[in-house]
A and B are shown apart, each in its own frame.
Chain A
Amino acid sequence: MTLKAIFEPGSIAIIGASSTPGKWGNILLKNLLSNGFKGPVYPVNPKEKTILGTVCYPSVLDIPDPVDMALIAVPRSHALTVAKECGIKGVQGIIMVTAGFSETGDKGREPEKKLMEIIDRYKMRLVGPNTLGVVNAHIGMNASIISRLPEPGGISFITQSGTLGLALVDWTMEMGIGLHIVVSTGNKSNIDDVDLLTYLASDPKTDVIAMYVEGINRGREFIKVAKEISKPILVVKSGRTRSGSKAVFSHTGSMAGADEVYSAAFKQAGIIRVDNIENLFDSALALSVQPAPNGNRVGILSNGGGASIIASDACERMGLIVPALQDDTKQKIREYIPEFASARNPIDSAGLSTYDVYNGMVKQMLLDPNIDALIVIYVDTIVNDAALPAQAIVDIHRGKCNKPIITCWMGGAGTRPGVDILEKGGLPNYPVPERAVIALKSLVQHNGFLEKVKV
């Protein structure tokens, strides 16, 4: 069965809704009611008549209309009964926030098994248990404990850690990154990574899939499914450090830690593994708004030499090439920059950052067949206007441009007018060159996977 009932439900029951501020059942209901979700929301609690001005039902079975999805936040002792009632009611999907299952060890395993029996018997699907919820920014559904709904965008985010993941969603809003689906997977006892990848692959609003993973259960299916997905998939996997390897039979046994195997599996699946959370969202942003380059040859230009050299060094460290430009390109670029400035890649305009200078430099570099992608840097000073070069690039980008452009506007508050223009214009912008290079590296890697790994 499709997971649509969970991610795009028409109607939602919230079982364990509460009128007490601060309780989960209260936060969840408030979040569902206050973010623009259009379908009916039915609070369920046998002790209340109305909560937050909405009619409350004693049980899901008392709701007169059909219910697609149930968000459950009752105590564990009630969870199985409530799930069974959902089955009888014909609910198709459950988000089980209630905790106290297998994550608590042996004593929680038996109830989780029973819960799964109920789910299977009534042919429902379930996120969790022990999840912090699901968000669909495009339909205004905040079935989670996130305090604000993210801006709608093309990145969907799967997180195995509830609290970390949800904190990150708030952070993406500061970064101006738009999200579509956010799902905290909890114990993954029914819906797991393989199911989620399959769903998001065919979800038209998801352009990029970002994952925070601690462990994967169905390893071989995971590789198989991911290989067939041409959308970029990015992952941060925790547990990189090797736990002291114990005495084992063979060399291979002692070398093949779990993490090395995950790295190999991600490579074979065409999944971009990044080192940390910042890289994850930096890369996801670039992949969601820019095309994949045809190769790894980068053109760099800047109004200050230092920043472009930092970018150039970072490219080299990460296996990207900063090649020489064609003579023809250099000649044309010299028309825009002072005589003493460098028309060699990385290009330094010696301080100039007018609309015409940036427009001219960028256009010429994009035309050069030696260049697959651009990093455009602007360093803010008191005499420059950050908005002018930003507008120049946005105007070029708006035209037909099949080579990716990554920008790096450096210098704090003064860059804001420029950064706003870039963000609105669909250019991924970063405050330091290294982050721009890492994002570009992910674009290059994705292109490599499209050519070699993806089926």
Chain B
Amino acid sequence: MNLTADQLYDILKEYGIPFAQKITATSLQEALEAANKLHYPVVMKISSPDISHKTDIGGIILDLNSDEEIKRAYLTMIDSVKKKAPEARIDGVIIQEMAKSGIEVIVGVKLDPQFGHVIMFGLGGIFVEVYKDVSFRVTPIDRETARDMILEIKASSILQGARGQEPADIDAIIKVITGLSHMLQKNPDIIELDINPLIVYSHGVTAVDARVLTL
């Protein structure tokens, strides 16, 4: 079974993980309607069950501010994806509200052969890729354990309000982790999952993108 992005978002929402609102559009007209409904600025992403790395093939365009920009982005994206991934099926494009900037974190899942599902937490971008500053826990994870794993990373001071910044909403991240932990108990066939980025504000969080691999 392979979940589409929409199905995955719906499942995660059920477990209290908030996603940036989005609408799938199957034509330029629908894309325009969606953008106006969600209010500018918006993000456009290619919707395809066959594409996992959207950025590499021009499948994500950020910060679109007008109907004119939507039109241009739509044509450019369809053209680019058809050229760079000719085999991929295209369902249309996803129009998503552009999340405000905040602290980007990643929350992920891996199925370990000895211990079952483990959840990973880390700060996004170079903190994960270069410094490998992440923490892990075996599920099920309660609130206390979730807090421990958030505070365990070396860069956790950034979340606690380093350099006069307002502290990030750690309780909201805890809810995402424990919600994910509950979700995994009902979905044993998930092998890997990334919620990346999850944007953390001083109040609340918004998940912007997620991907999943199932058995």
Which residues does A use to contact B, with CB under 8 Å?
215-217, 219-220, 223, 248-253, 255-256, 258, 260-265, 267-268, 452
Chain A contacts for B30, CB-based, 8 A: none
Chain B contacts for A250, CB-based, 8 A: 108, 110, 192-194, 211, 213
Please tell me if the beta carbons of A261 and B136 are within 8 angstroms of each other in the complex. Answer: yes
Chain A binder among B34-42, B77-85, B111-119 = B111-119
Q: Mark B83-113, 1 if CB is under 8 A from A, else 0.
A: 0000000000000000000000010111010
Is B157's CB within 8 Å of the partner chain A?
no
Q: Mark B45-62, 1 if CB is under 8 A from A, else 0.
A: 000000010000000000
Nearest A-chain residue to B196, judged by Cβ: A251
With beta carbons under 8 angstroms apart, the residue of A217, A249, A255, A256 that contacts B112 is A256
Please tell me if the beta carbons of B115 and A223 are within 8 angstroms of each other in the complex. Answer: yes
Please tell me if the beta carbons of A216 and B114 are within 8 angstroms of each other in the complex. Answer: yes
Cα distance A215–B114 in the bound complex, in angstroms: 9
Cα distance A272–B194 in the bound complex, in angstroms: 30
With beta carbons under 8 angstroms apart, the residue of B109, B136, B213 that contacts A263 is B136
Q: Mark B131-143, 1 if CB is under 8 A from A, else 0.
A: 0101111100000
**Nearest 3 pairs between A and B by C-beta?**
A252-B108, A219-B115, A219-B114
Cα distance A262–B118 in the bound complex, in angstroms: 10
Chain A contacts for B120, CB-based, 8 A: 252, 255-256
Query: Could you name 20 residue pairs across A and B whose Cβ atoms are closer than 8 Å?
Result: A215-B114, A219-B138, A250-B110, A250-B193, A251-B196, A252-B106, A252-B110, A252-B120, A252-B193, A253-B108, A253-B192, A255-B108, A255-B128, A258-B112, A261-B114, A261-B118, A262-B114, A264-B136, A264-B137, A265-B115
Please tell me if the beta carbons of A255 and B211 are within 8 angstroms of each other in the complex. Answer: no
Please tell me if the beta carbons of A251 and B114 are within 8 angstroms of each other in the complex. Answer: no
Please tell me if the beta carbons of B114 and A253 are within 8 angstroms of each other in the complex. Answer: no
Q: How far apart are B46's CB and chain A's nearest CB, in angstroms? A: 18
Please tell me if the beta carbons of B136 and A249 are within 8 angstroms of each other in the complex. Answer: no
Chain B contacts for A251, CB-based, 8 A: 106, 108, 128-129, 194, 196
Chain A contacts for B144, CB-based, 8 A: 452
Please tell me if the beta carbons of A223 and B128 are within 8 angstroms of each other in the complex. Answer: no
Chain B contacts for A265, CB-based, 8 A: 114-115, 138
Please tell me if the beta carbons of A252 and B109 are within 8 angstroms of each other in the complex. Answer: yes
B interface: dominant SS: strand
Which residues does B use to contact A, with CB under 8 Å?
52, 106, 108-110, 112, 114-116, 118, 120, 122, 128-129, 132, 134-138, 144-145, 191-194, 196, 211, 213
Chain A contacts for B134, CB-based, 8 A: 255, 260
With beta carbons under 8 angstroms apart, the residue of B114, B132, B194 that contacts A252 is B194
Chain A contacts for B194, CB-based, 8 A: 250-252
Please tell me if the beta carbons of A261 and B128 are within 8 angstroms of each other in the complex. Answer: no
Cα distance A220–B193 in the bound complex, in angstroms: 21
Cα distance A262–B112 in the bound complex, in angstroms: 10
Please tell me if the beta carbons of A268 and B132 are within 8 angstroms of each other in the complex. Answer: no
Q: How far apart are A455's CB and chain B's nearest CB, in angstroms? A: 12
Cα distance A237–B132 in the bound complex, in angstroms: 21
Q: How far apart are B131's CB and chain A's nearest CB, in angstroms? A: 11
Q: How far apart are A292's CB and chain B's nearest CB, in angstroms? A: 20
Q: How far apart are B6's CB and chain A's nearest CB, in angstroms? A: 18
Cα distance A295–B3 in the bound complex, in angstroms: 48
Q: How far apart are B74's CB and chain A's nearest CB, in angstroms? A: 28
Chain A contacts for B106, CB-based, 8 A: 251-252
Please tell me if the beta carbons of A249 and B213 are within 8 angstroms of each other in the complex. Answer: yes
Chain B contacts for A258, CB-based, 8 A: 112, 114
Contact A261/B193 with A253-B110, A255-B132 known, Cβ cut-off 8 Å: no
Contact A268/B137 with A220-B116, A253-B110 known, Cβ cut-off 8 Å: yes
Nearest B-chain residue to A252, judged by Cβ: B108
Cα distance A144–B163 in the bound complex, in angstroms: 61
Cα distance A258–B138 in the bound complex, in angstroms: 12
Contact A268/B110 with A250-B194, A251-B196 known, Cβ cut-off 8 Å: no
Cα distance A217–B115 in the bound complex, in angstroms: 9
Cα distance A253–B137 in the bound complex, in angstroms: 14
Chain A contacts for B112, CB-based, 8 A: 219, 256, 258, 261
Cα distance A108–B52 in the bound complex, in angstroms: 42
Chain A contacts for B192, CB-based, 8 A: 248-250, 252-253
Chain B contacts for A452, CB-based, 8 A: 144
Nearest B-chain residue to A218, judged by Cβ: B114
Nearest B-chain residue to A255, judged by Cβ: B134
Cα distance A22–B109 in the bound complex, in angstroms: 53
Nearest B-chain residue to A251, judged by Cβ: B194
Nearest A-chain residue to B115, judged by Cβ: A219
Chain A contacts for B191, CB-based, 8 A: 249, 253
Chain B contacts for A249, CB-based, 8 A: 52, 191-192, 211, 213
Contact A217/B52 with A250-B211, A261-B138 known, Cβ cut-off 8 Å: no
Please tell me if the beta carbons of A219 and B213 are within 8 angstroms of each other in the complex. Answer: no
Nearest A-chain residue to B137, judged by Cβ: A264
Nearest A-chain residue to B119, judged by Cβ: A252
Cα distance A256–B194 in the bound complex, in angstroms: 12
Chain B contacts for A256, CB-based, 8 A: 108, 110, 112, 118, 120, 136
Chain A contacts for B213, CB-based, 8 A: 249-250, 253
Cα distance A155–B138 in the bound complex, in angstroms: 28
Nearest A-chain residue to B116, judged by Cβ: A220
Q: How far apart are A122's CB and chain B's nearest CB, in angstroms? A: 30
Known: A220-B115, A252-B194. 10 other contacts (CB 8 A): A219-B112, A219-B116, A249-B192, A252-B110, A255-B122, A255-B132, A255-B134, A261-B118, A261-B136, A264-B136
Q: How far apart are B48's CB and chain A's nearest CB, in angstroms? A: 16
Nearest B-chain residue to A215, judged by Cβ: B114
Nearest A-chain residue to B121, judged by Cβ: A252
Cα distance A264–B138 in the bound complex, in angstroms: 7
Q: How far apart are B99's CB and chain A's nearest CB, in angstroms? A: 19
Cα distance A138–B133 in the bound complex, in angstroms: 46
